[in-house]
Amino acid sequence: MSERPKIILLPGLLCDASMWSAQLRALEPHADVFVADVSRHDSIDSMARSALALTEGPVAVIGHSMGARVAMEMARLAPERIARLALIDTGIHPRREGEEANRQVLVDLAFAEGMEALAERWLPPMVHEARIGDRALMEPLKAMVMRATPEQHQRQIRALLNRPDARPHLSAIACPTLVMVGRQDRWSPLAQHEDMAAVIPNAELVVIEDSGHMSLAEQPGQVSDALLRWLGFENGTAGAQDALQQGR
């Protein structure tokens, strides 16, 4: 009997396993799925090393936003282990001019007024403009942010501000790579992902329609269907395991 494929999911800033709820339901019948806890680390490197330690052998790594930056670092640190790589709503550039000051405003807000105030300020630009008033979408996202702490937020902001420039390493990615983005992502726009897909060998670009930066929650069906197809689960678990082992 073939061993089940292994998948590591990497949440973004202030996100936890709940962000992956729909994808977990879709993937768990086919694979052993691990959701990395990136809440306790203050560097992309330490997040990547912790995620690599979750299991042994070849894995498919799927990251969202900050989690995708961690996924790229995992591919740099241990390319022999990463059979497939999916990068969702993310970027590759290092810290930009003025970014530290802008992020510090939100760090200070969380300490001064709490995580609810941070959620109300931070979340609206993260979703499709037409869905800011969608309570079914926004309330679970707000609850997720409120489960985090100002200290966690500060740690993760430190990691993001000190993030590496990923561009020099993209051309060395040898495994099949999926680059996915919400068409209406205002934080990490489509053009940015088109550039990434053009540089990464064996990259496929998928655009999620009617979605902003939080595509996992905004359009869970589209995201899950794209992942299932890309992972090869339409051919059964054994076929997907062969693909992971061979990097197809």
Residue 236: the pLDDT is 52
**Interval 2-23: pLDDT, tens:** 589 999 999 999 999 999 999 9
| pLDDT, mean of residues 31-50 | 97
**Interval 110-165: pLDDT, tens:** 999 999 999 999 999 999 999 999 999 999 999 999 999 999 999 999 999 999 99
Q: Which residues pair with 235 in a beta bridge?
A: none
Residue 160: the pLDDT is 97
Residue 234: the pLDDT is 73
Q: Where are the domains of the chain?
A: 6-95+159-246
Fold held by 6-95+159-246: Rossmann fold (3.40.50)
List the 203-208 sheet strands across, edge first. 32-35, 6-10, 59-64, 82-88, 177-182, 203-208
Rounded CA-CA distance 202/200 in Å is 6
| Token representation of residue 44 | 């992309």
119-128, Cβ contacts within 8 angstroms, sequence gap of 24 or more: 119/145, 119/146, 122/14, 125/186, 125/187, 125/213, 126/187, 126/212, 126/213, 126/214, 127/212, 127/213, 127/214, 127/218, 128/182, 128/184, 128/210, 128/211, 128/212, 128/218
**Interval 164-216: pLDDT, tens:** 999 999 999 999 999 999 999 999 999 999 999 999 998 999 999 999 999 99
pTM for this predicted structure: 0.94
Rounded CA-CA distance 245/51 in Å is 19
- Write the CA distances from 74 to 38, 47, 104, integer angstroms: 13, 9, 27
